[in-house]
């Protein structure tokens, strides 16, 4: 997966073979914010500019720029999974939150 990070925003990057450019879109927000570049440097500059513009325009229009994620994740799982998670966390000497955070970070390669 190709991603870029800036000011707590994450962008998904793809290559458009037809136009021969890199194209990025902010991930994790409902607003559509895109950018592009022909080189990595150009793409990074466009990404930073698009995030900065998104924040500035939101402030100028009285809207609050959407934040990608709060850091809280609520899940519904079966009682069997809940028990297995609690046991695994306890075996590792961690809280469920600590254990789950580490497992999710490993699974998402962060």
Domain count, the chain: 2
**Non-local CB neighbours of 40 within 8 Å, separated by 6+ positions:** 22
Domain of residue 32 covers 3-60
H/E segment holding residue 13: strand 9-16
Amino acid 72: pLDDT: 82
pLDDT digits (tens, 9 = 90+) for 35-92: 999 999 999 999 999 999 999 999 999 999 998 777 788 899 999 999 999 999 999 9
pLDDT digits (tens, 9 = 90+) for 7-26: 989 999 999 999 999 999 99
E strands, 17-108, are 21-27, 34-37
CA distance 22 to 11: 12
Q: Classify residue 65: in a domain, yes or no.
A: no
Amino acid 90: pLDDT: 96
pLDDT over threshold 80, residue 105? yes
CA R_g for the chain:
19
Does 56 share its domain with 80? no
Amino acid 34: pLDDT: 96
CATH of the domain at 22: 3.30.160
Amino acid 70: pLDDT: 73
CA distance 6 to 96: 29
Does 13 share its domain with 39? yes
pTM for this structure?
0.66
Does 7 share its domain with 36? yes
């Amino acid at each position: 997966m190709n991603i870029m990070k800036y000011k707590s925003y994450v962008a998904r990057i793809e290559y458009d073979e037809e136009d021969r450019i890199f194209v990025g879109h902010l991930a994790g927000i409902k607003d559509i914010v895109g950018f592009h570049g022909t080189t990595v440097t150009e793409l990074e500059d466009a990404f930073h500019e698009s995030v900065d513009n998104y924040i500035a325009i939101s402030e100028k229009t009285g809207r609050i720029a959407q934040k990608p994620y709060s850091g809280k994740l609520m899940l519904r799982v079966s009682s069997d999974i809940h028990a297995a998670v609690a046991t695994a966390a306890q075996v590792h000497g961690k809280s469920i939150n600590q254990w789950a955070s580490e497992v999710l970070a490993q699974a998402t390669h962060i």
